[in-house]
Amino acid sequence: MENGLDIVVPVYNEKENFETLYKNLCAHVHTPWRVLVVYDFLEDTTLQVARPIAEKDPRVVLIVNEGTKVLGAMKTGLARAEASAALVLMADDPVEIISQVDAMYARMNETGAAVVAASRYMPGGSHGSSGTIKAILSRTAGLSLYLLVGLPTHDATYATKLFRTSFLKKTPIESTRGFTYAIELTLKAYLSGETIAEVPVQWTERTVGTSRFALMGWIKSYLYWYLWGFYQYYILLGFLRVRRK
């Protein structure tokens, strides 16, 4: 599938959420798509729902995680992408986010962007848990990178991002934990001169199942890429200033 989307969905016992996600994709995403469901083990309850769907719909592809944990699942799925663009979604993402997938794909084609960020903090977006520590930290990181580095998205840390597959093929993911690949790839795209775009989304906390987000376990990795972005940007800025003299 050259044009269209490969949608990577890492799962871990998402029986209650996956069928809803699939129905929302069918109802709200008109761009040609496949969904790459990446699971860790055969006993994962998601397969109780996903396997019967995959047997009827060839757009649903089941893939065993070749790495470990959620980062390994996302890297496995992104490496298997064959479409022109690859999108990461979570099994519990609400319909408000699914309904913006076509807009993200259209934005990529309009701008030639390597990355299109689903943005909770740009005008028109919202974060359903805006008063939590997680939300405050992600908003602060996103806005400071936007204002001080010029990163063209207000929401660098959010995992739901659309990537041009050709960019993914030439850009290794060095992150070692959680969802930090999102800020890593966005910064790498920007610093290498690629176009970044964003589309507003309205995010809400999951209501079924358990989140795999581990703020305290991943915060050092987020901080590493956050500071790396500043360091690389100002090193590059200094280099350009020297060359202009």
Q: Which residues of the chain have pLDDT under 50?
A: 209, 212-213, 239-245
Largest CA distance in the chain: 65
Element containing residue 117 per DSSP (H, E)? strand 115-119
Taking the C-alpha atoms of residue 204 and residue 129, their distance in angstroms, rounded to an integer, is 7
**Residue 31, helix vs strand vs coil:** coil
Do 182 and 156 contact (CB within 8 A), yes or no?
yes
Token match 């996103």: residue? 142
Partners of residue 118 on adjacent β-strands: 199
Angle, helices 69-79/181-191, rounded to nearest 10 degrees: 50
DSSP, collapsed to helix, strand or coil, labels residue 78 as: helix
What letter would DSSP give residue 28?
Answer: H
Query: Looking at residue 134, what is its pLDDT?
Result: 75
Which residue from 59, 70, 75 is spatially nearest to 163, judged by alpha carbons?
75
Q: In this predicted model, what pLDDT tens digit does every residue of 76-92 receive, in sequence order?
A: 999 999 999 999 999 99
Which residue segments constitute the domains of the chain, with CATH numbers given?
Answer: 5-244 (3.90.550.10)
pLDDT confidence of residue 241: 44
Rounded to whole angstroms, how far apart are CA atoms 225 and 163? 18
Q: What is the pLDDT of residue 136?
A: 86
* Euclidean distance between CA atoms 22 and 51, whole angstroms: 12
